[in-house]
Every structure is written in structure tokens, then in C-alpha cells.
């Protein structure tokens, strides 16, 4: 798997050196001296045109890493946790990466992408600034089977919607799942019928809605602190 860009690359080098297979640089000065010494045998200097080809012409900032493929979490292990997030039909790499970053920083235990067959994992690693390397992540195509298993493991499902109960003073179950739908469509009908409760962010002004990643950060923070 190829990731690129200075911020995410340095994060991976510092926190997950065991995952690094190869480092491509356009010039040595891009990396701090300590990392140059540590990974010297894995560094390859290449011309800009070759790194452009490697990164499909994206903004690489002169650095790209070849790293091990991300190992998916198991549902069995995730069911032992307390706070999970289900992404129902989300496919936008930028939004998913932002949610992963917030979830990792604010204390969620794992993320499950449902209703999709595959995702651009390397893109999510980049857009999460590397947080996906540390956040348990799983793709489960069938959302109904997924939520049924979680309910059997005593999880309570909370779906985010503008019509829901305000989260400001709400208390949440210890075993809890936040279900986030895609922008525009929201939580799918097939999952709405499985929700235990629908929750919403109280708006100060009359406005349509927040971006799904912005809303996710607010709700994740509240669900991390408002446990019964």
C-alpha cells in the first residue's frame, strides 16, 4: 500500500516503523535527521517524475511510503469493546478519514463501514492523518447482519438524524454504537428500523445540517462523556 504526504508519512514512520517497507524521497532534507538514520536502508531517492507516477499525480510533498496492507479488525474482537461507530453507506474518503481521526482522538473503540464492498484504504489513511493505522477498522457489506450481531452482544444503537432527541443532556448506554449515514441520504431505511434511539445536535441557528464528519466529531465527544 502506498501513502504519501509529509504529515501522514512522518506519523507512520514514528508510530509504526514495523509497517514500513520502502521510503521514496525526492530529497533527503524532507525527513528529520533521526528518521534518515533510522530508516537509511529503506530510503530510495527518486526523481519527481517517478514519485508523481507512484502517487498518480497527487500532492506528495516529495515523500511516499510503501507500507504493509492494513489488517482489518475482527467483529469478534470489536464486540468486546464498548463504543463503536457504524458508517452506513459512506464512501467519501475525506469524510471517512475525518471521522476516523475524530474517533481515534475522542475515544471510540472501533469503526465498521457497512453497506459497501470495498474502500480506498490508502486514501483513508492519508485523510485521517495516519489515525487509521491505530483505529480498529472493519468492512462488513451486510449492515443488517452486522447490527443483529451487535444487538445480540448487548449493544444499543443510536442513529444520528436531525429529527432525533437532542444529545446535550442525554445519557448513553455503556455498550453503544453510533450509526452515521451518508450525506444527503442519512441512515438507510433498513437500518432505521433497527435503531434503539435517534439523536441529534441542537442547532443555535436555523440551518440545514452539518457536514457528516463535523457532526460525527460533536456526537462522538458527547457519547464518550455522557455514559450512564
Residue range of the domain that includes 160: 75-225
Residues 61 and 116 in one domain: no
Residues 125 and 201 in one domain: yes
> Among the three residues 44, 67, 90, which one is the final residue of a domain in this structure?
67
**pLDDT of 210 higher than 80:** no
The Cα 45–Cα 82 span in angstroms is: 45
Ramachandran angles phi, psi of 120, nearest 5°: -80, 90
Write the pLDDT tens digit of every residue in 100-141.
999 999 999 999 999 888 899 999 999 999 999 999 999 999
Percentage of the chain exceeding pLDDT 90: 77
Residues 50 and 162 in one domain: no
Whether residue 3 contacts residue 125, with contact meaning beta carbons closer than 8 Å, is answered with yes
Q: What is the pLDDT of residue 207?
A: 67
Q: What is the pLDDT of residue 168?
A: 84
Write the pLDDT tens digit of every residue in 144-203.
999 999 999 999 999 988 778 888 888 999 999 999 988 777 888 889 899 999 998 887
Whether residue 121 contacts residue 138, with contact meaning beta carbons closer than 8 Å, is answered with no
CATH number (domain holding residue 88) = 3.40.1280.10
Residues 86 and 45 in one domain: no
Q: Which helix (H) or strand (E) holds 65?
A: strand 63-67
Q: What is the pLDDT of residue 109?
A: 98
For the chain, helix (H) and strand (E) counts, in that order, are 9, 10
Residues 62 and 80 in one domain: no
Average pLDDT, rounded, for the chain: 92
> Among the three residues 43, 67, 91, which one is the final residue of a domain in this structure?
67
Q: What is the pLDDT of residue 202?
A: 81
Residues 113 and 17 in one domain: no
**DSSP tag of 136:** -
**pLDDT of 208 higher than 70:** no
CATH number (domain holding residue 46) = 3.30.1330.30
Domains identified in the chain, total number: 2
Question: Among 201, 176, 179, which Cα is nearest to 191's?
Answer: 179
> Among the three residues 67, 88, 116, which one is the final residue of a domain in this structure?
67
Amino acid at each position: 500500500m502506498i501513502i504519501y504526504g509529509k504529515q501522514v508519512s512522518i506519523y507512520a514512520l514514528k508510530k509504526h516503523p514495523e509497517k514500513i517497507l520502502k521510503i521514496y524521497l525526492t530529497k533527503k532534507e524532507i525527513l528529520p535527521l533521526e528518521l534518515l538514520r533510522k530508516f537509511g536502508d529503506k530510503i530510495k531517492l527518486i526523481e519527481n517524475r517517478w514519485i508523481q507516477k507512484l502517487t498518480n499525480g497527487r500532492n506528495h510533498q516529495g515523500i511516499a511510503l510503501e507500507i504493509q496492507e492494513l489488517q482489518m479488525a475482527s467483529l469478534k474482537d470489536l464486540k468486546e469493546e464498548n463504543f463503536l461507530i457504524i458508517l452506513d453507506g459512506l464512501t467519501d474518503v475525506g469524510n471517512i478519514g475525518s471521522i476516523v481521526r475524530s474517533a481515534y482522538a475522542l475515544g471510540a473503540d472501533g469503526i465498521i463501514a457497512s453497506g459497501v464492498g470495498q474502500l480506498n484504504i490508502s486514501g483513508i489513511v492519508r485523510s485521517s492523518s495516519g489515525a487509521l493505522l491505530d483505529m480498529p477498522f472493519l468492512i462488513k457489506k451486510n449492515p443488517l447482519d452486522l447490527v443483529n450481531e451487535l444487538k445480540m452482544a448487548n449493544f444499543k444503537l443510536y442513529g444520528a438524524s436531525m429529527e432525533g432527541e437532542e444529545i446535550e443532556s442525554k445519557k448513553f448506554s455503556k455498550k453503544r454504537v453510533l450509526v452515521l449515514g451518508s450525506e444527503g441520504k442519512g441512515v438507510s431505511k433498513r437500518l432505521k428500523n433497527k435503531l434503539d434511539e435517534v439523536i441529534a445536535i441542537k442547532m443555535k441557528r436555523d440551518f440545514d445540517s452539518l457536514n457528516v464528519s463535523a457532526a460525527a466529531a460533536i456526537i462522538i465527544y458527547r457519547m464518550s462523556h455522557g455514559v450512564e
